[in-house]
């Protein structure tokens, strides 16, 4: 997870100490891109080296919580230079009420987690027909 930032456990995005942690260590913050379309928000999280079964993605109380861990790949020879970050990762996103939380979906492919956050029907853009008079 190249150039990821580090955060201390026990602090959420607002600085409150109400996040449960499993151990007292530093978390990596995965880099993400968020793209908006007419029908949804797409969150792309860069997670090289992460196994899909080590990802915990959940929606709770208006927040999308992403956590898990990445382990150092097995190296058969002496490591000469290493920048591959290993350890726990953690990130929290506020989810606006215009997102339909019951339809949040995710997929993991080639080291990228893609989370689909569909918009509620009421907030999707609608084409308005224009009448003409002759």
Strands, E assignment, the chain? 5-7, 27-29, 32-36, 40-46, 55-60, 63-70, 87-94, 105-109, 112-118
pLDDT for the residue numbered 4: 41
The bridge status of strand 87-94 relative to strand 27-29 is parallel
CA distance 47 to 55: 10
Sorted by where each begins, the domain ranges of the chain are 5-123
**Which CATH number describes the domain made up of 5-123?**
2.60.40.790
pLDDT digits 0-9 by tens, 64-73: 999 988 887 7
pLDDT for the residue numbered 123: 77
């Amino acid at each position: 997870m190249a150039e990821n930032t580090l955060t201390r456990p026990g602090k959420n995005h607002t600085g409150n100490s109400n996040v449960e942690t499993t151990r007292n260590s530093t978390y990596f913050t995965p880099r993400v891109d968020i793209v908006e379309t007419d029908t949804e928000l797409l969150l792309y999280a860069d997670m090289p080296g992460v196994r899909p079964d080590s990802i915990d993605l959940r929606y709770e109380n208006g927040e999308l919580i992403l956590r898990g861990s990445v382990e150092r790949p097995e190296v058969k020879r002496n490591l000469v230079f290493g920048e591959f970050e290993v350890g726990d990762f953690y990130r929290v996103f506020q989810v606006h009420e215009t997102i339909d939380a019951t339809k949040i979906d995710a997929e993991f492919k080639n080291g990228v987690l893609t989370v689909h956050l569909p918009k509620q029907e009421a907030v999707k853009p609608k084409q308005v027909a224009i009448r003409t008079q002759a």
